[in-house]
Amino acid sequence: MKYMTHAVKMLFKSAMQYRASLLMQVIAQFVMTGGELLAVTVLLTRFKAVGHWGAAEILFFFGVMQSTFALTELFGRGITSFPWFVQRGEFDALILRPRPLLVQVMFSQLDPRRLGSFLVGMIAVLTAAAQLELQWTLLKGLLLAEVVLGSMLLLTGLFMIEATVSFFSVKSIEMVNVLTYGGRTACQYPVDVYPGVLRVLFTYVAPFAMCMHWPVSAVIGQPMMALPMWAYFLTPLAGAAFFALMVRIWYIGVRHYRSTGT
């Protein structure tokens, strides 16, 4: 934990050396993600509901996904760009250092630009909560925090699929993006608006439904599943389980690693 805290502190300090550049990049991300929010808003002014979900409820799901994905890219940049480490031979240097290997990879880079996307997501969540007249409680706040953490672990695990494949192929596997960036786009909306095949995909293969949709629906008072409130604190653990599984698989890839040189 001390190493992780120190690494994050130093990376933020490094990014702040060029404050004007960082500010412009954050603003650029804010504008780009804001365009997505605008598109969703325009869509919801034309169609007042998607399935049985109202506009404010859809906006809440959108905001949670955007915020979570932005935080994942902010703190998980080392994983999302891991194939570059292998292709350039930079992974060799990490292996030689006396620190946990995965921790080094994950905290080798940060992407502070994603703060702009995170801000858009938070604006969407707060706007939707106001429209829903959501009554916040400590229990709901803790559940939403767990949703974000569990979903971040799930997304990081999904990015680790490509990171693992990179040990065996120097070419990027674009199919993985169906579950990462494709999952982000699809799961901005509640999973129960999709046909059966996609529901299965995003519930049991890439379990966004368990990590995000089920507990978020409970937070806004429209539960998808007839579960007691305490059970919704268990479903985001699917993200932690998926991440733990991918860590094991990733280390199998490490054992088969052969340097590509520089």
CA distances 15 to 19, 63, 105, 113, Å, are: 7, 26, 18, 10
In tens, the pLDDT along 85-102 reads 777 777 888 788 777 888
Q: What is the mean pLDDT of the chain?
A: 86
Q: Does position 72 have pLDDT exceeding 80, yes or no?
A: yes
Average pLDDT over residues 74-95: 80
- The larger pLDDT score, comparing residue 240 to residue 1, is at 240
- Please report, for the chain, the start and end positions of each structural domain, with discontinuous segments joined by +: 2-255
Per-residue pLDDT, averaged over 80-88, amounts to 79
Q: Which residue in the block uniquely carries the two structure tokens 């891991």?
A: 82
Residue 65's pLDDT band (cuts 50, 70, 90): very high
Residue 138 has a pLDDT of 93
- What pLDDT is recorded for position 70? 93
pLDDT one-digit tens code per residue, 159-205: 998 888 888 776 656 667 777 888 888 888 999 889 889 899 899 98
Q: How far apart are CA 54 and CA 128, in angstroms?
A: 10
Cα separation, 179 vs 177, whole angstroms: 5
Judged against a pLDDT cut of 90, whether residue 153 lies above it is answered with yes
Choose between 68 and 79: higher pLDDT.
68
State the average pLDDT over residues 36-42: 86
Assess contact for 157 and 86: CB atoms under 8 A.
Answer: no
Specify the amino acid at residue 136.
Answer: W
| Distance, CA of 223 to CA of 249 (rounded, Å) | 34
Question: Cα(95)–Cα(102) distance, rounded to whole angstroms?
Answer: 10
User: What 3-state class would DSSP assign to 108?
Assistant: coil
Q: Residue 243: in which H helix or E strand, if any?
A: helix 237-255
pTM: 0.90
DSSP SS3 for 230? helix
Quick one: pLDDT at residue 261?
54
pLDDT (tens digit per residue) in 112-128: 888 899 999 999 999 99
Torsion of CA 233, 234, 239, 240, to 10 degrees: 100
Determine the Cα–Cα distance for residues 158 and 186; give it in Å rounded to an integer: 15
Residue type, 202: F
pLDDT of 64:
95
Backbone angles phi, psi at 180, to 5 degrees: -90, -80
Place of tokens 């996904």: 65
Would you state the pLDDT for residue 148? 95
Residues with Cβ within 8 Å of 193's Cβ and at least 6 positions away in sequence, in order, are: 50, 51, 53
